[in-house]
Structure formats: structure tokens, C-alpha cells
């Protein structure tokens, strides 16, 4: 027999991939070669976790694809180390494919080929899958426990980029003799002469009552580089020189500035890729740990930039938020209702425009700090205004025209079709054509049955047509069942708002606002060409455009 060899190595344990491949391949050959068999193909994954399903491992996925090929070139697959190949229940999800395509699976632990009818073999492979999962979990527990102890008892710097305001310096050889012989050294944090004063300034201004936004604007205005811009080599994915509120807040809430080492602020968490298909496995995400799970060093581990009293005072002020007693708040103006609240977006920065009442009229405004615009090379005025009444004068006729009896059918079909991309629409059309063709065939077959055609033959034709129709209907349900609406469903929604033109004329702003939301209206204002892009989508996915110009608010005041 000809065999394909499969193996896997993860670089997390610092193993040499070539050495690992050699010993796994040697073990596999020692199983099959005494019987006169040979390895003719190799599939070896490097740097992939055992927790990944076979379909998500590059070489394992190629092996599964090869199983389907009649001329694959091998009749069996041999694995040298099952604990590296199967994790948890992966064997139970993978072995049926080998059985289906008639490919034997040989494992040293069962002394040869896995027998699909043997309960003992199933138990052995389930045992090794569980051992593989348990081994990985034990490694995670040991590593995390060791790192927690090193951070708490030794105050050791455990890696990662230093926080803004600090830099890394050498702290001597590694305490592990083996790692020290490889040249590994420890590091610790030291205040950076150029950025540590900026951290102190941020804390000082915040304690005085300056807000996050004002601090960020002041730093940008004074030409102080943001954390991303001050270390561009470690932040090649960011090109923002201006400070943001989030960067200021992160600095104000980082306890490392008090001189103590902190670990476990973030941790890797495995989350299901698809809760409806557990076999796809998990994906690793970084998640913030609850503050009570953070690990603090028992003693100071590096020079402090901020003293403990100042840090505690800042945390108290942040927790108080808008209730800070030292901040004067302007009295709120009387509220005004805005018909298009939450529906208008700025075409320059893609943010929602907010309501603003001035000069006795309702407007929508987008304000953008000049420092942010310059740093992002964005030609955005500091303030963009848009009058509400002028928008409504254009939107109402457009909505009424789109949903008039003459245009209703085309509008509904366009809204339904736009819920899919071009590839989906092509597949939907093909499925519908297939269903229509099958219905035609069934009608002909039933007619043939009535005129005396052989019932057995006709029944075979009907069964085949029904199978083709069922497959097409299944595909159509899959393509159109992803939170989309059919033309009939959209029609029902619009019929509930019959007489839309008359409603728009007499509706008060609150009712009109609700009507716009039911239609899924979204407006995007482009100040340059002075046009509004209007989209109506009851489920948030279908589009229609209304290009109407001369909406510059400065031009509107005189018209």
C-alpha cells in the first residue's frame, strides 16, 4: 500500500520543526514499512495549534481535499503521533471522511489501521484526544500561574511594549541558566526623559479640572507626538499624529505609572467562530480582564512617574464622571425635536451629524477639530451645518414618488434585490430558474402519466425533478434567509403605511421621524458637491440614491 504521512508541530513549545517532523515520520514508517508499505506523500503543519480543526490547518485541509480525488496516489494515511494530530473530539469529526472515501488510517497506538467497527479503537482515539486537550490546558495553567507569581512576587517585566512614558532597559541575565546561556536577558521599565513629563502633565491638568478632550487638543496644539507617532516603528499601521481622548484616558487609568508591575490586564480568550457550527472550532481574541483579576506586584518594580495619592485621586474623578464637583456645567437649553435625528451622516468623516438649534431654525452639525483633520489629512471644516427644513423639502417628495402606486412594484423589487451582492443575485436567479424549470418538467410528467406513459418510468422522472427542485429551494432559502426581506414582506410593510404622500404632508415631526425610521432612511451629506445621498432600507441593507444639490447651509439662508 501507498501511504500519506500527516504530522504537526507548534512553535509555541520552541521545538525545531525539522527535528519534530523527522521523529514523527520515523515513528510512522516503523509502523508501515515492516508490512511492506511506503510513504509517498507528506502533509506536515508547522506553527498551527492542535486546537484548530483539520479544515483550518493548511496542510491537513489539503489532505482532506486529496481524499476526495480518485487518483490521489495513496490508499492510506499514517500518523506518527495522534496527540499532535487530534484534539478533543476532532477524531470523531474527521475519521468518517476516511471511512467514506475508503482510505485507511494507521495509528501506532492501535498497532495498525483504525477499525471503524471497533469500539476499542474508538475509545483509544477518544482517550488520546482527551489527553491532547488536557495537556494543552495544563500547559496554559502552568504558564499563567508562573507568570502571575513572577509579576506579583518578583515584579518582573513579562514582555510587551512599554507604556507611554517608559522605556525598556537591561536588567541582567535571565535567572534560568539554560535561557541565560542562549543570551536571554531580563528587562525593566525606566522613565523616558522625553515622554515621562508628558504623562505628568496629563495627570496634573486632569486633577485641575481639564477634560480629556481639552487635554488631547492642548497636547496636539503644542506639537507633542501622540503615543503612536512617538514610536512609529512599533505602530506602522497607524498614521495619526494627533492625540485622542482614548489615548489620554488609557494613560490616566494605567496603574503602572505608580511604579508597580501590573499583569493580566488583557488575556487571550477562545470564542466559538460559529455557535451554529461548533465543529469550526474557536478563534482567539484579546479581551480586557475585569480589574479585580489584575495582578499587581507586591513591591515597587520600577521608578514611579505618578505618586499613589495622585493616581487614586484621578481614579476617583474618573469614576465620578459628569458628577465631578469641580467642573462647571452649562445649563442645558430647552430640548428641540429633530425629524431626522440619527439619520444624517457626514460624508467627510462618516460620523452622525447632531441636532443644533440656532438662528431660530433646526440644523444638523458636524464639528471636527482642526488638529485631527490636519493629522488625518482630511479636508474637513471645523463645522458643517445643514438646515432641516431644506432637507425635508427634498426628501418628502422623493419618498412619496418612490412609493407611489406607479413606482411601487419597481421600488420593492429593487429593495429586495439590493439585499444581496452580485454573486448572490446571480445564484438566486439561477436557483429560481431551476425551480421554474423543475415545475415545468413536473407538469409535463404528470401530463405524460395521464396519457398512459409507463408509471414506473414517469415516477422516476418525477422523483429526479423533485430532488432537483428541493436542492434549488434549499439553496434559495440559504441565500435569502440571512435577515433579508422578500418583496412581499416589504410590500406588507409599505401597505401598513398606505397613503404615504398624504401622511408626509400632515404628519408632525415626531410621527414623521418614526416613519423615516420604519423606512430605514439614511442620509449622507457631501459638503463639497453639495448633495445628499438618500438610502431607504427597512432591514438596513437596500439602497436608492437621491442626488440633490445646493444644500450648502451658507447658500440656503438667502433662499
**19 pLDDT higher than 70:** yes
Lowest mean pLDDT among 196-210, 241-255, 261-275, 542-556: 542-556
| CA 373/CA 386 separation, integer angstroms | 20
SS3 of residue 9 by DSSP: strand
Query: So what's the pLDDT on residue 373?
Result: 54
Check: CB of residue 37 under 8 Å from CB of residue 74: no
More confident position, 526 or 419: 526
Query: How many CB atoms are closer than 10 A to CB 438?
Result: 20
Residues 6 or more apart in contact with residue 483 via CB below 8 angstroms: 539
Query: So what's the pLDDT on residue 486?
Result: 56
SS3 of residue 1 by DSSP: coil
For the ranges 45-54, 151-160, 455-464, 500-509, the maximum mean pLDDT occurs at 45-54
Q: Quick one: pLDDT band at residue 550, thresholds 50, 70, 90?
A: very low
For the ranges 30-44, 363-377, 519-533, the maximum mean pLDDT occurs at 30-44
Residues 6 or more apart in contact with residue 244 via CB below 8 angstroms: 216, 226, 372
**How many helices (H) and strands (E) are present in the chain, helices listed first?**
20, 17
Query: So what's the pLDDT on residue 104?
Result: 93
Mean pLDDT of the chain: 79
| CA 55/CA 274 separation, integer angstroms | 14
Lowest mean pLDDT among 112-116, 135-139, 475-479: 475-479
Query: So what's the pLDDT on residue 372?
Result: 59
E-strand spans in 174-306?
185-191, 262-263, 266-272, 282-288, 295-296
**116 pLDDT higher than 60:** yes
**321 pLDDT higher than 90:** no
Q: Quick one: pLDDT band at residue 30, thresholds 50, 70, 90?
A: very high
Query: So what's the pLDDT on residue 31?
Result: 93
Query: So what's the pLDDT on residue 332?
Result: 53
Query: So what's the pLDDT on residue 553?
Result: 36
Check: CB of residue 495 under 8 Å from CB of residue 514: no
In the numeric block, which cell numbers belong to residue 538? 427597512
Residues 6 or more apart in contact with residue 284 via CB below 8 angstroms: 268, 269, 270
The structure's pTM equals 0.52
Query: So what's the pLDDT on residue 543?
Result: 38
**pLDDT tens digits along 48-61:** 888 888 988 999 99
**pLDDT tens digits along 285-297:** 888 888 888 888 8
Q: Quick one: pLDDT band at residue 202, thresholds 50, 70, 90?
A: very high
Q: Quick one: pLDDT band at residue 199, thresholds 50, 70, 90?
A: very high
Average pLDDT over residues 522-535: 84
- Displacement of CA 463 from its chain's centroid (Å): 44
Average pLDDT over residues 271-280: 76
Amino acid at each position: 500500500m501507498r501511504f500519506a504521512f500527516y504530522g504537526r508541530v507548534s512553535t509555541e513549545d520552541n521545538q525545531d520543526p525539522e527535528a519534530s517532523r523527522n521523529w514523527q515520520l520515523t515513528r510512522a514508517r516503523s509502523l508501515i514499512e515492516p508490512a511492506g508499505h511506503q510513504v509517498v506523500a507528506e502533509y506536515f503543519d508547522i506553527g498551527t495549534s492542535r486546537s484548530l480543526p483539520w479544515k483550518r490547518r493548511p496542510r491537513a485541509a489539503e489532505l482532506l481535499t486529496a481524499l476526495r480525488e480518485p487518483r490521489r496516489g495513496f490508499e492510506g494515511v499514517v500518523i506518527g503521533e495522534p496527540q499532535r494530530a487530534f484534539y478533543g473530539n476532532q477524531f470523531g469529526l474527521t475519521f468518517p471522511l476516511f471511512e467514506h472515501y475508503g482510505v485507511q488510517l494507521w495509528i501506532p497506538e492501535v498497532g495498525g489501521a483504525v477499525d471503524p467497527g471497533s469500539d476499542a479503537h474508538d475509545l483509544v482515539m477518544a482517550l488520546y484526544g482527551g489527553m491532547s486537550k488536557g495537556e494543552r490546558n495544563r500547559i496554559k495553567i502552568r504558564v499563567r500561574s508562573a507568570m502571575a507569581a513572577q509579576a506579583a512576587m518578583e515584579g518582573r517585566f513579562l514582555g510587551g511594549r512599554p507604556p507611554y512614558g517608559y522605556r525598556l532597559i537591561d536588567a541582567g541575565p535571565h535567572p534560568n541558566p539554560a535561557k541565560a546561556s542562549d543570551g536571554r536577558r531580563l528587562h525593566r521599565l525606566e522613565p523616558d526623559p522625553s515622554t515621562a513629563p508628558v504623562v505628568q502633565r496629563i495627570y496634573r491638568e486632569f486633577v485641575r479640572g481639564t477634560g480629556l478632550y481639552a487635554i488631547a487638543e492642548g497636547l496636539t496644539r503644542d506639537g507633542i507626538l501622540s503615543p503612536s507617532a512617538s514610536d512609529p516603528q512599533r505602530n506602522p499601521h497607524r498614521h495619526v499624529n494627533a492625540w485622542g481622548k482614548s489615548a489620554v484616558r488609557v494613560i490616566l487609568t494605567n496603574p503602572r505609572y505608580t511604579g508597580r508591575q501590573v499583569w493580566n490586564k488583557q488575556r487571550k480568550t477562545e470564542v466559538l467562530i460559529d455557535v451554529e457550527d461548533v465543529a469550526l472550532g474557536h478563534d482567539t481574541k484579546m479581551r480586557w480582564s475585569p480589574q479585580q483579576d489584575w495582578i499587581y506586584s507586591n513591591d515597587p518594580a520600577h521608578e514611579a512617574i505618578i505618586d499613589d495619592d495622585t493616581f487614586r485621586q484621578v481614579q476617583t474623578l474618573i469614576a465620578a464622571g459628569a458628577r465631578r464637583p469641580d467642573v462647571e456645567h452649562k445649563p442645558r437649553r430647552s430640548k428641540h425635536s429633530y425629524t431626522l435625528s440619527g439619520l444624517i451622516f457626514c460624508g467627510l468623516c462618516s460620523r452622525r451629524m447632531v441636532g443644533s438649534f440656532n438662528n431660530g431654525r433646526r440644523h444638523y452639525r458636524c464639528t471636527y477639530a482642526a488638529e485631527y483633520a490636519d493629522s488625518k489629512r482630511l479636508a474637513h471644516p471645523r463645522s458643517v451645518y445643514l438646515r432641516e427644513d431644506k432637507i425635508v423639502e427634498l426628501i418628502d417628495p422623493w419618498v412619496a414618488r418612490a412609493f407611489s402606486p406607479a413606482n411601487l412594484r419597481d421600488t420593492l423589487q429593487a429593495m429586495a434585490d439590493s439585499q444581496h451582492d452580485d454573486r448572490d443575485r446571480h445564484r438566486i436567479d439561477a436557483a429560481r430558474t431551476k425551480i421554474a424549470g423543475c415545475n415545468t418538467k413536473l407538469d409535463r410528467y404528470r401530463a405524460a402519466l395521464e396519457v398512459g406513459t409507463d408509471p414506473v418510468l414517469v415516477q422516476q422522472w418525477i422523483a429526479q425533478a423533485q430532488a432537483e427542485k428541493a436542492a434549488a429551494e434549499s439553496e434559495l432559502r440559504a441565500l435569502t434567509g440571512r435577515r433579508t426581506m422578500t418583496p412581499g414582506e416589504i410590500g406588507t410593510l409599505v401597505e401598513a403605511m398606505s397613503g404615504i404622500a398624504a401622511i408626509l404632508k400632515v404628519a408632525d415631526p415626531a410621527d414623521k421621524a418614526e416613519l423615516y425610521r420604519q423606512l430605514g432612511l439614511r442620509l449622507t451629506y457631501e459638503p463639497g458637491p453639495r448633495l445628499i445621498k438618500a438610502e431607504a432600507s427597512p432591514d438596513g441593507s437596500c439602497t436608492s440614491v437621491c442626488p440633490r444639490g445646493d444644500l450648502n447651509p451658507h447658500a440656503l439662508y438667502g433662499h
